[in-house]
Amino acid sequence: MNTQSPAKEIATLGGGCFWCLEAVYDDLKGVDSVESGYMGGKTANPTYEQVCSGDTGHAEVIRLTFDPAVVSFKEILEVFFVIHDPTTRDRQGNDVGTQYRSAIFYHSAEQKAVAEQVIKNLSAARIYDDPIVTEVAPASQFHIAETYHQEYYQRNPAQPYCAYVVRPKVAKFRKHFLGKLKK
Protein backbone atom coordinates (compact mmCIF):
# COMPACT_ATOMS: atom_id res chain seq x y z
CA MET A 1 0.00 0.00 0.00
CA ASN A 2 1.31 3.46 -0.91
CA THR A 3 1.28 5.73 2.15
CA GLN A 4 3.04 8.68 0.53
CA SER A 5 1.05 11.87 0.31
CA PRO A 6 0.23 13.10 -3.19
CA ALA A 7 2.61 15.48 -4.87
CA LYS A 8 2.35 19.12 -3.97
CA GLU A 9 0.31 21.34 -6.26
CA ILE A 10 0.55 24.97 -7.29
CA ALA A 11 -2.26 27.52 -7.42
CA THR A 12 -1.93 31.06 -8.77
CA LEU A 13 -4.52 33.66 -7.81
CA GLY A 14 -5.02 37.37 -8.35
CA GLY A 15 -7.45 39.26 -6.17
CA GLY A 16 -6.21 42.79 -5.73
CA CYS A 17 -3.03 43.59 -3.89
CA PHE A 18 -0.86 40.51 -3.43
CA TRP A 19 -0.04 41.55 0.15
CA CYS A 20 -3.64 40.74 1.16
CA LEU A 21 -3.73 37.32 -0.47
CA GLU A 22 -0.29 36.34 0.79
CA ALA A 23 -1.18 37.25 4.39
CA VAL A 24 -4.31 35.10 4.27
CA TYR A 25 -2.86 32.03 2.58
CA ASP A 26 0.18 32.05 4.87
CA ASP A 27 -2.28 31.03 7.62
CA LEU A 28 -4.15 28.29 5.70
CA LYS A 29 -3.50 24.74 6.80
CA GLY A 30 -2.01 22.70 3.95
CA VAL A 31 -0.31 25.65 2.27
CA ASP A 32 3.45 25.16 2.30
CA SER A 33 4.60 28.41 0.71
CA VAL A 34 3.23 31.64 -0.75
CA GLU A 35 5.11 33.95 -3.11
CA SER A 36 3.95 37.32 -4.40
CA GLY A 37 4.50 38.02 -8.07
CA TYR A 38 3.06 38.89 -11.45
CA MET A 39 1.31 36.85 -14.15
CA GLY A 40 -0.77 37.28 -17.25
CA GLY A 41 1.08 40.09 -18.99
CA LYS A 42 3.28 40.67 -21.98
CA THR A 43 6.41 42.31 -20.53
CA ALA A 44 9.38 40.07 -19.75
CA ASN A 45 10.64 40.37 -16.17
CA PRO A 46 8.35 43.23 -15.14
CA THR A 47 9.09 45.42 -12.16
CA TYR A 48 6.51 46.53 -9.61
CA GLU A 49 6.58 50.03 -11.08
CA GLN A 50 5.94 48.68 -14.59
CA VAL A 51 3.07 46.50 -13.41
CA CYS A 52 1.55 49.42 -11.45
CA SER A 53 1.56 51.52 -14.64
CA GLY A 54 -1.06 49.15 -16.04
CA ASP A 55 0.85 48.88 -19.32
CA THR A 56 2.27 45.35 -18.90
CA GLY A 57 -1.02 43.46 -18.65
CA HIS A 58 0.16 41.59 -15.55
CA ALA A 59 -1.95 40.95 -12.49
CA GLU A 60 -0.53 41.03 -8.99
CA VAL A 61 -0.78 37.38 -7.95
CA ILE A 62 0.27 34.89 -5.38
CA ARG A 63 1.69 31.50 -6.26
CA LEU A 64 1.07 29.01 -3.52
CA THR A 65 2.32 25.50 -3.09
CA PHE A 66 -0.10 23.27 -1.24
CA ASP A 67 -0.69 19.69 -0.15
CA PRO A 68 -3.95 18.48 -1.74
CA ALA A 69 -4.21 15.78 0.93
CA VAL A 70 -4.69 18.59 3.48
CA VAL A 71 -6.43 21.34 1.51
CA SER A 72 -8.09 20.94 -1.88
CA PHE A 73 -7.97 23.41 -4.73
CA LYS A 74 -11.73 23.87 -4.25
CA GLU A 75 -11.15 24.85 -0.60
CA ILE A 76 -8.44 27.29 -1.69
CA LEU A 77 -10.99 28.88 -4.04
CA GLU A 78 -13.65 28.97 -1.32
CA VAL A 79 -11.26 31.12 0.74
CA PHE A 80 -10.44 33.21 -2.33
CA PHE A 81 -14.07 34.10 -2.97
CA VAL A 82 -14.61 35.16 0.65
CA ILE A 83 -11.58 37.44 0.98
CA HIS A 84 -11.95 39.59 -2.14
CA ASP A 85 -14.69 41.06 -4.32
CA PRO A 86 -14.91 39.02 -7.52
CA THR A 87 -17.57 41.32 -8.99
CA THR A 88 -15.48 44.42 -9.66
CA ARG A 89 -13.52 44.44 -12.89
CA ASP A 90 -9.91 45.63 -12.50
CA ARG A 91 -10.44 46.88 -8.96
CA GLN A 92 -10.37 45.94 -5.30
CA GLY A 93 -11.51 48.78 -3.07
CA ASN A 94 -9.38 51.84 -3.80
CA ASP A 95 -6.87 49.79 -5.81
CA VAL A 96 -7.80 50.33 -9.46
CA GLY A 97 -6.17 48.94 -12.61
CA THR A 98 -5.82 45.71 -14.56
CA GLN A 99 -3.09 44.61 -12.15
CA TYR A 100 -5.78 44.30 -9.43
CA ARG A 101 -8.15 42.09 -11.42
CA SER A 102 -9.75 38.98 -9.98
CA ALA A 103 -8.08 36.01 -11.67
CA ILE A 104 -7.54 32.29 -11.31
CA PHE A 105 -4.58 31.09 -13.37
CA TYR A 106 -5.05 27.33 -13.61
CA HIS A 107 -2.21 24.81 -13.83
CA SER A 108 -4.24 21.83 -15.05
CA ALA A 109 -7.49 20.93 -16.76
CA GLU A 110 -8.77 19.77 -13.37
CA GLN A 111 -8.06 23.18 -11.78
CA LYS A 112 -9.85 24.88 -14.68
CA ALA A 113 -12.91 22.66 -14.23
CA VAL A 114 -12.97 23.22 -10.46
CA ALA A 115 -12.66 27.00 -10.90
CA GLU A 116 -15.46 27.10 -13.45
CA GLN A 117 -17.69 24.93 -11.24
CA VAL A 118 -17.09 27.04 -8.13
CA ILE A 119 -17.95 30.21 -10.07
CA LYS A 120 -21.05 28.54 -11.52
CA ASN A 121 -22.18 27.43 -8.05
CA LEU A 122 -21.61 30.86 -6.51
CA SER A 123 -23.43 32.54 -9.38
CA ALA A 124 -26.40 30.14 -9.12
CA ALA A 125 -26.59 30.73 -5.36
CA ARG A 126 -26.58 34.51 -5.97
CA ILE A 127 -24.00 35.03 -3.24
CA TYR A 128 -23.09 38.40 -4.78
CA ASP A 129 -25.42 41.15 -5.95
CA ASP A 130 -23.40 41.63 -9.15
CA PRO A 131 -22.04 39.05 -11.62
CA ILE A 132 -18.68 37.41 -10.92
CA VAL A 133 -16.06 38.77 -13.34
CA THR A 134 -13.13 36.60 -12.23
CA GLU A 135 -10.86 35.73 -15.13
CA VAL A 136 -10.11 32.00 -15.49
CA ALA A 137 -7.01 31.63 -17.66
CA PRO A 138 -4.13 29.22 -18.14
CA ALA A 139 -1.09 29.92 -15.99
CA SER A 140 1.68 31.63 -17.85
CA GLN A 141 5.15 32.78 -16.84
CA PHE A 142 5.26 33.65 -13.12
CA HIS A 143 7.52 36.56 -12.27
CA ILE A 144 8.39 36.72 -8.59
CA ALA A 145 7.94 40.17 -7.09
CA GLU A 146 10.76 42.12 -5.54
CA THR A 147 12.05 40.85 -2.20
CA TYR A 148 10.50 43.68 -0.20
CA HIS A 149 7.00 42.49 -1.29
CA GLN A 150 7.48 38.99 0.14
CA GLU A 151 5.84 38.51 3.58
CA TYR A 152 5.08 42.24 3.50
CA TYR A 153 2.19 42.15 5.96
CA GLN A 154 4.07 39.93 8.39
CA ARG A 155 7.00 42.37 8.40
CA ASN A 156 4.94 45.61 8.29
CA PRO A 157 1.66 45.10 10.20
CA ALA A 158 1.55 48.73 11.39
CA GLN A 159 2.04 50.21 7.90
CA PRO A 160 -1.23 52.10 7.14
CA TYR A 161 -2.23 49.98 4.09
CA CYS A 162 -1.63 46.83 6.10
CA ALA A 163 -3.53 48.13 9.12
CA TYR A 164 -6.56 49.35 7.17
CA VAL A 165 -6.76 46.99 4.18
CA VAL A 166 -4.81 43.78 4.81
CA ARG A 167 -5.63 43.23 8.50
CA PRO A 168 -9.44 43.25 7.97
CA LYS A 169 -9.11 40.65 5.20
CA VAL A 170 -6.97 38.44 7.44
CA ALA A 171 -9.53 38.84 10.25
CA LYS A 172 -12.39 37.95 7.89
CA PHE A 173 -10.53 34.84 6.75
CA ARG A 174 -9.80 33.75 10.32
CA LYS A 175 -13.43 34.26 11.34
CA HIS A 176 -14.85 32.25 8.43
CA PHE A 177 -12.21 29.50 8.34
CA LEU A 178 -11.20 29.02 11.97
CA GLY A 179 -10.91 25.24 11.57
CA LYS A 180 -8.55 25.61 8.60
CA LEU A 181 -5.93 27.77 10.31
CA LYS A 182 -2.40 26.57 10.85
CA LYS A 183 -1.72 26.00 14.52
DSSP annotation string for 41-105: -SSSS--HHHHHHT-S--EEEEEEEE-TTTS-HHHHHHHHHHHS-TTSTTEETTEESGGG-EEEE
Residue type, 175: K
Find the catalytic residue in 17, 20, 52, 162: 17
Whether the CB-CB separation of 62 and 36 falls below 8 Å is answered with yes
Instruction: Tell me whether residue 20 is one of the annotated catalytic residues.
Output: no
| Three-state DSSP state, 178 | helix
How deeply is 148 buried, as exposed, middle or buried, from its count of CB atoms within 10 A (0-12, 13-18, 19+)? exposed
Residue type, 21: L
* Nearest-10 Cα torsion for 10, 137, 146, 55: 180
Question: DSSP code of 167?
Answer: H
Report the catalytic residues. 17
